[in-house]
Amino acid sequence: MNIHIPTPLRAYTDKQETVSIPGATVAEGLAALVAAHPALQQHLFTSEGKLRSFVNVYLNDDDVRWLPAGQATAVSPGDELSIIPSIAGGCSKEPSI
Amino acid sequence: MTLKLSNPLYRELRAHGEETYPHECCGILLGSADGSEITVQRLLRAGNTRTDSAHNRYNIAPQELISAQREARQAGLEIVGFYHSHPDHPAQWSATDFAEAHWLGCAYVITAVEQGRATVTNSFLLAGTREEDKSFRPQSIVLPSSAPHLDSD
Cα A17 to chain centroid, rounded = 13
B24 is catalytic: yes
In a domain, B125, yes or no: yes
In a domain, B151, yes or no: no
Structural domain that includes position B68: 2-142
Catalytic residue from among B24, B37, B64, B71: B24
Q: How far is CA B149 from CA B15, B152, B153, in A?
A: 22, 9, 12
Q: Are B24 and B18 in contact (CB under 8 A)?
A: no
Q: Which amino acid is at B139?
A: Q
Average pLDDT rounded to a whole number, residues A66-89: 94
CATH number for the domain spanning B24: value is 3.40.140.10
From the list B58, B89, B92, the residue facing A88 with the nearest CB is: B58
Q: Check pLDDT > 70 for residue B90.
A: yes
Nearest alpha carbon to residue A4 among B29, B130, B66, B80: B66
- Residue A69, CB half-sphere, CA atoms under 13 Å: how many? 8
Q: Specify the number of domains making up chain B.
A: 1
Name the superfamily (CATH) of residues A2-85. Beta-grasp domain (3.10.20.30)
From the list A8, A58, A90, the residue facing B106 with the nearest CB is: A8
Q: Who wins on pLDDT, B56 or B111?
A: B111
The set of residues, in sequence order, having a beta carbon less than 8 Å from that of A91 and lying 6+ positions away, is: B24, B56, B86, B87, B89, B94, B96, B97
ipTM here: 0.88
Q: Check pLDDT > 70 for residue B150.
A: no
Q: Check pLDDT > 70 for residue A96.
A: no
In angstroms and rounded to an integer, the radius of gyration of the C-alpha atoms of chain A is 14
Distance (Å, rounded) from C-alpha A47 to C-alpha A42?
7
